[in-house]
Amino acid sequence: MFDYVDQVALTNDQGARAQKLFAAVVLAALDDAIADDKKYGNGAEVIARWARSRDGREVLMCAGIDPNERCVNGMMEFVRRGVRTSVALSREESERQAHRAEAEAA
């Protein structure tokens, strides 16, 4: 009985780790597209082409992201902003954006 429960828990844990790994691949693809955008000016097109490709859709699905057109547009907009993923995910950047939004609303 308990062996079965342990096996299910282990399988679930491995699945979560695999999903995190694929999410890291998506973040790396975004960083590469941002670098391309700064260097060549075509980062948004690069990430859109990747996200619409067969491999890109497969990676997005494995990361738990629905590879629809709304997702592709969001990724393109993220690349156009030019903020690296490590910075965008930090608490300081989130607070800075919140302050900026409040200032614009006022």
Q: Which residues of 71-93 are buried (b: 16+ CB within 10 A; e: fewer)?
A: ebeebbebbeeebebeeeeeeee
pLDDT computed for residue 23 by the predictor: 96
pTM: 0.79
pLDDT digits (tens, 9 = 90+) for 45-90: 999 999 999 999 999 999 999 999 999 999 999 999 998 998 888 8
Average pLDDT, the chain: 89
Domain definitions of the chain by residue range: 2-105
Residue 9 has pLDDT above 70, yes or no: no
**CA separation, residue 6 to residues 12, 83, 98, 101 (Å):** 10, 42, 43, 47
- Residue 19's closest CA among 82, 85, 27, 31? 27
Is residue 37 within 8 A of residue 79, CB to CB? The reply is: yes
